Amino acid sequence: MAKIILFATGGTIASTRTADGSSVSASVSGAALKDKLHAPLDGIEVEVVEFSTVGSFAIDLPLAFSLSTGINAALDNPECDGVVVTHGTDTMEESCYLTHLLREGEKPIVFTGAQRHAGDIDSDGPRNLGDAIMVAASPEAPGLGALIVFEQEIHAARDVTKVHTSRVDTFRSPGLGKIGDIDGTDIRIARRPVLEETHRIDRIESRVELFKLTMGGSPWMLDAAADLGTRGVVLEAFGRGNAPPAFVEAIARLTQRDIPVIVCSRCPEGSTRAVYGGGGGGHDLVKAGAVLAGSLSGVKARLLLSVLLAKGNDRRTIARRWASLAG
């Protein structure tokens, strides 16, 4: 019999309406979620860990780091075959990717949740949870890294993102697609993702900021962040990794203070590349000391940078090794 440990953190899957009906909030335990499964999970034992009961918009990096630490401890138990995490969809991709970066070993780690709260008559939570448990117990799942299972699809941690505010098929992997799906009790893996290296840290560096660039925007927030003690900055820039011209000098001021600046693209598909000059192109940003993120999204580049800084890497080391570390 497979043994799966379920970490319950809250989120929509664990939310119901407040007494006055004005809003929904997380209040349902992991044990109650387990009891609401639509079908028995033959051959699978599920042990529940009540980790937290919050909306994922309230999860910060230290709490997500604590979750990943607890997951690794659970997986270290030889009786545990895999872990499932119920989590709010707002920041699920971030907790999933951080756990992916910090994972130890090849046992499955599967995140899931819901878009319709537990009090809805057609809540998607029970089916998603049942599917996630089946994936975690499947012999096909080890070695895939952390995953998100949602609406009968399986997505890799590095690729997946939330694309719709309310639809139940909210998770997509732009440019690459899902890695597999669930058909009844069948788990089908269509492709196996290339996995970047894992990391071991004792703490997470939370002082990393992400800014999205806009046409004609001012770089004042870079200097303000530096003055307030930020340890790193991620920019979601235009296209291949370009910015308004004023950002070149602002980036240089930060890198001269040994603050790494990672440049991603606002585009959901494709990679950054130092193609353009002209005073604000990616070529100019790199000359100022910035590092292009490749195909990694802004929110995930922030997590990787937080991990690398927590390991004690300086700006030059991060710049030199980013391409191999980011996968």
Instruction: Tally helices (H) and strands (E) across the chain.
Output: 9, 16
H helix runs in the chain, sequence order? 30-35, 61-75, 92-102, 125-137, 220-227, 246-256, 282-287, 298-310, 315-326
Question: How does DSSP assign 113-155, residue by residue?
Answer: --SS-TTSTT-SHHHHHHHHHHHHHSTT-TTS-EEEEETTEEE
Whether 112 is catalytic: no
Q: Report which secondary-structure segment, H or E, holds 234.
A: strand 232-237
CB atoms within 10 A of CB 121: 5
Catalytic residue among 9, 12, 230, 272: 12
- Per DSSP bridges, beta strands 186-189 and 208-212 are unpaired
Contacts of 206 (CB under 8 A, 6+ apart): 60, 61, 62, 306
Identity of the residue numbered 230: T
State whether the Cα torsion 196-243-160-307 is positive or negative: positive
- Locate 46 and state its tokens: 């599920």
Contacts of 311 (CB under 8 A, 6+ apart): 199, 201
State whether the Cα torsion 183-4-36-97 is positive or negative: negative
CB 259 within 8 A of CB 291: no
- In angstroms, how far is CA 81 from the centroid of its own chain? 22
Whether 53 is catalytic: no
Catalytic residue among 9, 86, 89, 230: 89
Question: Catalytic residue positions?
Answer: 12, 89
